[in-house]
Amino acid sequence: MTTKTVHLALYDTLADWEFGYATAHINNPEFQKVPGRYQVRTVGETLDPVTTIGGLRITPDLVLADVDPADSAMLILPGAQTWETGDNAAFGAAARRWLDAGVPVAAICGATIGLAAEGLLNDRAHGGNAVEQLASVPGYTGSELFSSERAVRADGLVTAGAASALEFAREIFAELDLYEPAVLEAWYGLYRTADPAWFGKLVAAVS
């Protein structure tokens, strides 16, 4: 089996909570359809450490310019304050390269601003923090395609708002075909409700 790489973008003021469910469970083979099918590697504009909004310092594994979308299973773009200043434009452009190559992209919170700036939300169903936020981005004409759902998956693109990290992860897992449908339903039910009954359903779905 060839292990495929899911690339997690890193930049200063990275929102720590927005990608944790996704990366932890992609790297954890428990309950997966094909354990070990994916690995997560981090990618930055340079190899210089970034500082998250929570004050953690993380050193990227790879430089963005060196990554070919053909070698990627998905590009995950978390939110960060730097999206609003335009400092992450290179990652918005990368999202276009990934999608043009037929490789999925997942963007949450401020990262949807970068996608809007690239014109990537003008013809795809999508979500985000609020349509009003995206409407302020020059060139954005996709307001009729904006959804208030917690997370939206359409045409190889997963989008969500800052308060929907759990749903963001669920749609990433669906896009990657990480779990059997019944397993994914039980996993989401457990983390959404904290009801132990869902753990029993999760174990039953796996077995």
127 phi and psi angles, rounded to 5 deg = -125, -160
Contacts of 124 (CB under 8 A, 6+ apart): 142, 145, 154, 155, 157
Contacts of 98 (CB under 8 A, 6+ apart): 69, 72, 74, 75, 104, 105
**Residues with active-site annotation:** 109
Cα 62 to chain center, whole Å?
Answer: 18
Q: Report how far residue 202's alpha carbon sits from residue 97's, in angstroms, rounded to the nearest whole number.
A: 36
List C-alpha distances in Å: 24 to 29, 92, 143, 158: 10, 24, 32, 18
Contacts of 135 (CB under 8 A, 6+ apart): 143
Amino acid at 89: A
Token digits for 100? 């043009």
